């Protein structure tokens, strides 16, 4: 009750529009009827119109335009936590035609955006299905028809499993003639490439597994490299195809971020069990999964592009409006 007394003046209604002014700047939305009477935190503000000749949905659509966003970021105080002052927000210019013209524009945008959202939803569903298609095939490869496969701990199936340490004293962000050995850390972007040094710590073909931050990202390394920040490296024994082990680790190691999954350690990885058939059968499985992965990557690129085009089309329509 004492908290409510402090914030009761900051109530919102379905006739208001909210805009985030701290952290994520400029995110806006119309208050749903179910939240009439709810309270705002200090990270957001509400717009209350001085006249009835303003359409709430018209202003909402305006806040989605690049014209509005450019003004927002031009007036945002950049700090550790970005903040948009209300006095600055008040100076942002808004183009306002007659109410009937606002309503005509809103009706057209509602119709266009409904069609675009349907197309985007279909593309997002297809993207999700493409990813799940490969995951399903990966699961089947390591759970069905595995009678007669051998089973060992990763510790025994690998020549070496180790974690990277601190970054080397001598390193550069760009590849040079002397500093040409890649340094890899935990991460997905650019396969975790951090920089370059002159001496590798892993010489053999190996597999890296992200153990912190983005956990479970598995990548094959074909050239000598230098792992850092506890990035785990695994070198399989000769009786296990390295590409087969890459897929096996993708199947075995849960993926996620540091907030949802604890960090992965070398002892945890060493104790995991791996099942494997003969080398010829391993090669057959790799070839099938390679082919399917290539197909799914192509599909993912197509649907990712479609989603991007939907967002760009919205901006194009808003600009014309």
How many Cβ atoms are within 10 Å of 286's Cβ, its own excluded? 18
pLDDT of the residue at 97: 94
What local confidence, expressed as pLDDT, does residue 79 receive? 59
Average pLDDT, rounded, for the chain: 91
Please give the DSSP secondary-structure letter assigned to residue 135: H
pLDDT at 80 over 60: no
Q: What is the pLDDT of residues 26-56, one digit of tens each?
A: 899 998 899 888 888 888 888 888 888 999 9
pLDDT score, position 24: 82
Can you give the pTM of this predicted structure? 0.74
* Of the candidates 87, 232, 78, the residue with the CA atom closest to the CA atom of residue 164: 232
Q: Are 10 and 31 in contact (CB under 8 A)?
A: no
Residue carrying the six token digits 């985007």 = 120
- What's the pLDDT score for residue 261? 61
Among 204, 210, 174, which Cα is nearest to 191's? 210
What digits encode the pLDDT tens for the residues 118-171? 999 999 999 999 999 999 999 999 999 999 999 999 999 999 999 999 999 889
**Tell me, what's the pLDDT at 77?**
62
Mean pLDDT over 216-232 rounds to 95
> Would you call 112 exposed, middle or buried from its count of C-beta atoms within 10 A (0-12, 13-18, 19+)?
middle
54: three-class secondary structure by DSSP: coil
What is the band of 259 on the pLDDT scale with cuts at 50, 70, 90?
low
Among positive and negative, which fits the CA dihedral 254, 260, 262, 264?
Answer: positive
Q: What is the pLDDT of residue 69?
A: 87
Query: Per mean pLDDT, which range of 97-101, 179-183, 256-260 is the poorest?
Result: 256-260
Predicted pLDDT at 8: 74
Mean pLDDT over 13-25 rounds to 87
pLDDT of amino acid 258: 60
More confident of the two residues 78 and 266? 266
Q: Rounded to whole angstroms, how far apart are CA atoms 232 and 209?
A: 5
Q: Which of the residue ranges 62-71, 204-213, 250-259 would you say has the lowest mean pLDDT?
A: 250-259
Spatial separation of the C-alpha atoms in residues 134 and 297, rounded to whole Å: 9
CB hemisphere CA count around 158 (13 angstroms): 28
Per the CB < 8 A criterion, the answer to whether 183 and 228 are in contact is: yes
What mean pLDDT is predicted for residues 207-217?
91
Q: Can you tell me whether residue 77 is helix, strand or coil?
A: strand
For residue range 167-193, list pLDDT tens digits in order.
998 899 999 999 999 999 998 999 999
What is the token pair recorded at 229?
């920040």
The pLDDT, as a whole number, for residue 75 is 65
Q: What is the dihedral of CA 33, 36, 42, 47, to 10 degrees?
A: 70
């Amino acid at each position: 009750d004492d908290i409510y007394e402090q914030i009761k003046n900051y109530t919102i209604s379905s006739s208001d529009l909210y805009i985030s002014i701290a952290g994520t700047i400029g995110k806006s939305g119309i208050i749903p009827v179910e939240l009439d009477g709810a309270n705002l935190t200090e990270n957001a503000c509400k717009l209350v119109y001085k006249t009835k000749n303003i359409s709430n949905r018209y202003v909402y659509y305006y806040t989605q335009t690049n014209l509005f966003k450019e003004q927002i970021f031009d007036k945002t105080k950049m700090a550790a936590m970005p903040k948009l002052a209300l006095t600055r927000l008040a100076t942002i210019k808004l183009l306002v035609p007659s109410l009937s013209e606002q309503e005509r524009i809103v009706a057209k945008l509602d119709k266009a955006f409904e069609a675009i959202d349907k197309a985007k939803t279909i593309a997002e569903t297809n993207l999700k299905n493409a990813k799940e298609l490969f995951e399903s095939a990966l699961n089947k490869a390591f759970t069905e028809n595995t009678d007669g496969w051998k089973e060992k701990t990763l510790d025994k199936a690998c020549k070496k499993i180790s974690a990277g340490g601190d970054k080397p004293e001598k390193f550069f962000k760009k590849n040079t003639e002397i500093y040409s050995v890649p340094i890899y850390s935990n991460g997905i972007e650019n396969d975790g490439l951090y920089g370059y040094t002159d001496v590798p710590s892993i010489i053999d073909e190996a597999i890296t597994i992200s153990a912190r931050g983005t956990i479970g990202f598995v990548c094959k390394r074909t050239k000598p490299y230098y792992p850092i920040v506890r990035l785990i490296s695994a070198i399989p024994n000769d009786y296990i195809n390295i590409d087969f082990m890459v897929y096996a680790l993708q199947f075995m190691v849960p993926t996620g971020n540091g907030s949802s999954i604890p960090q992965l350690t070398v002892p945890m990885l060493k104790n995991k069990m791996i099942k494997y058939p003969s080398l010829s059968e391993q090669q057959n499985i790799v070839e099938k999964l390679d082919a399917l992965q290539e197909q799914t990557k192509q599909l993912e690129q197509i649907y990712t592009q479609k989603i991007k085009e939907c967002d760009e089309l919205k901006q194009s329509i808003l600009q014309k409006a």
